[in-house]
Chain A
Amino acid sequence: MIYSENVLLCLTIPLVITILFLQGMARKVMESFVFGMICCLMSAYISGFAKVVSGMSAEDTAVYISPLIEEVMKFLPVLFILCVLEADDNELLVASIAIGAGFATFENICYLMSNGDVKMSFVLVRGLAVGIMHVASIVILSGTIIIVRKHGAVSLPALVGALAMSSTLHALYNLLVSEPGLSSKIGYGMPFVSSLLLLTVLRRSIVIDEKIPEENERYKIYKSN
């Protein structure tokens, strides 16, 4: 058994000190990363509580309830950044990715510490599947919010819809990997494939929507050729 709070303190104190030396986007990224780690610990607390209250097994809790709790916990700082800090699209996306990365990093560290000496395959699964999944789900969340905002349709239903999309991806991953065989193989590959797809979509939309006319023109000429 490990004390996650100790791990969190040990990891975040140097990061918090680092934040004091940083400015601009680097500072925002670091702050969001730390928030992501804190969200992960909070999610673990709430999931543990939900397991006891619902009377479900640890596996059922991980498959059915944890995705909901973890996505809601990641959604809250994104909502804060969107509504209180009124971040622009780029800031929102970058902060979201950092929150997802912080969340995944802290979860991976705790898993590796609690499992002791593990096989390389386990390490790769933690890194390439679960780790990426947290980033992919939050990119879906913030990406949806950005798209909705561009169309002037930010509203409670749209936010709930964005949360629903990210929760489904997470829940689907957990469901797939809960069964051995082909199901888990598809599950492990899903975050990586969805990240590649998201990256393609984001790169394309960022290049097209960037407020630099000559870059846009260059891209359009490149595309037309």
Chain B
Amino acid sequence: MTSGTLIPSLVMALEFVVLLYIFLYSLRLKRIHPVTRVLYLLWSATLFTSNLYYLTHALQNKGLYLPFSAMDIVDMGIYTLLGAVLQSNFSVNLKKLTWPSVEGALFGALNIWLWILWSGKLLGNLMNALPFIYLLFMCGRSLEESRSLIKVDRLSFASATMVIAVLESVLYFTRGNVYTVLDVLCYILLFSCDMFLIFKTVDVLRNGNADRAIALAATTYTMGLVTQYLSYEPVYFVAEVLVVFSLAMICLAVRKKEKEAEKE
């Protein structure tokens, strides 16, 4: 292992431990709705095995980034399954369009455009387009259904995400000092959104109900992915740590749901 792969391997090892716990815990769930439970189990299993693959890839010194591969279909599975978990948990009707869900889907589509722009990987990102849009659509709807954000928070968050998408698009075509300023601004906005969601989720995990916690934790995870994919190293790894943290929060939210169901 080289020093260049040490940090990513350590982050992946941390993720591996968290995912192993999530997977083992999801096997023990009993009181959650069976459909939600099986989709959540499948999501955690897919995430766990894909992490095992990425960890092996990093340990073999084959680089951090994969070309178009089987992992693209695994990403599809991860996005659609988490979306399906939210859809099942909040009984979302796909035909009913609301402003938060449309905003989420739009942000998802803009992200796919940005990933294609920045990475140049057309096929893999196009394959992931619909699943990622679906996931963000579900995040928007679940936040709305659970009333997790008050109106001011919702509007601020939606505006920030749109500004990020626009700035990142502009960033691609700029050079020099303007690029540096915009780049820093984008990072500040991305991490502000992450931190806002993390604090909200932690607060709800301590004082709120489980459905709110699930909606917020899933949105935090998705926002973490967005931050990760729009960042360069070493910020990429910081975002990856946030993703690992958000995964732990999803697990805690599901545990809260299980405990609430036990009380009922």
Cβ of B74 and Cβ of A168 under 8 Å apart? yes
Interface size class of B (residues with CB under 8 A): 20 to 34
Chain A residues near B53 (CB-CB < 8 A): 168, 171-172, 175
Cα A67 to Cα B69 with chains together (Å): 8
Which A residues between 176 and 205 are near B, CB-CB below 8 angstroms? Answer: 176, 178-179, 183
Chain B residues near A63 (CB-CB < 8 A): 69
Cβ of A151 and Cβ of B50 under 8 Å apart? no
Cα A164 to Cα B75 with chains together (Å): 8
Cα A185 to Cα B81 with chains together (Å): 33
Cβ of B84 and Cβ of A183 under 8 Å apart? no
Cβ of A68 and Cβ of B73 under 8 Å apart? yes
Cα A179 to Cα B76 with chains together (Å): 27
A13 located at the interface, meaning its Cβ lies under 8 Å from any Cβ of chain B in the complex: no
B212 located at the interface, meaning its Cβ lies under 8 Å from any Cβ of chain A in the complex: no
B45 located at the interface, meaning its Cβ lies under 8 Å from any Cβ of chain A in the complex: yes
Cα A156 to Cα B131 with chains together (Å): 10
Cα A151 to Cα B84 with chains together (Å): 14
Counting chain A CB atoms within 10 Å of each CB, the highest count among B34, B39, B73 belongs to: B73
B226 located at the interface, meaning its Cβ lies under 8 Å from any Cβ of chain A in the complex: no
Chain A residues near B43 (CB-CB < 8 A): 161
Cβ of B38 and Cβ of A67 under 8 Å apart? no
Q: A64-B70, A153-B34 are in contact. Are A172 and B39 (CB under 8 A)?
A: no
Cβ of A160 and Cβ of B81 under 8 Å apart? yes
B66 located at the interface, meaning its Cβ lies under 8 Å from any Cβ of chain A in the complex: yes
Chain B residues near A153 (CB-CB < 8 A): 34-35, 38-39, 88
CB distance from A20 to the nearest CB of B (A): 37
B71 located at the interface, meaning its Cβ lies under 8 Å from any Cβ of chain A in the complex: yes
Cβ of A65 and Cβ of B68 under 8 Å apart? yes
Counting chain B CB atoms within 10 Å of each CB, the highest count among A56, A152, A158, A168 belongs to: A168
Chain B residues near A164 (CB-CB < 8 A): 46, 50, 73-74, 76-78
Chain B residues near A116 (CB-CB < 8 A): none
CB distance from A163 to the nearest CB of B (A): 6
Q: Interface SS of chain B: helix, strand, loop or mixed? A: helix
- Count residues on chain A whose CB falls below 8 Å from chain B CBs: 37
Cα A50 to Cα B72 with chains together (Å): 15
Which A residues between 125 and 168 are near B, CB-CB below 8 angstroms? Answer: 144, 147-148, 151-153, 155-158, 160-165, 167-168
Q: Which residue of A lies closest to B36 (CB)?
A: A153
Cβ of A158 and Cβ of B70 under 8 Å apart? no
Cβ of A54 and Cβ of B80 under 8 Å apart? no
Cβ of A157 and Cβ of B81 under 8 Å apart? yes
Cβ of A168 and Cβ of B46 under 8 Å apart? yes
Counting chain B CB atoms within 10 Å of each CB, the highest count among A64, A169, A178 belongs to: A64
Cα A170 to Cα B38 with chains together (Å): 23
- Select one of A60, A152, A160 contacting B34, CB under 8 A: A152
Which B residues between 34 and 89 are near A, CB-CB below 8 angstroms? Answer: 34-35, 37-39, 42-43, 45-46, 49-50, 52-53, 56-57, 60, 66-74, 76-78, 80-81, 83-84, 88
CB distance from A182 to the nearest CB of B (A): 10
Q: A175-B57, A175-B60 are in contact. Are A157 and B39 (CB under 8 A)?
A: yes
Q: In the complex, given contacts A152-B35, A153-B38, A178-B60, what are 10 additional A-B residue pairs having Cβ atoms less than 8 angstroms apart?
A: A60-B67, A68-B73, A148-B38, A153-B88, A160-B131, A162-B42, A163-B73, A164-B46, A167-B70, A170-B70
Closest 4 CB pairs of A and B: A164-B77, A157-B84, A64-B69, A157-B80
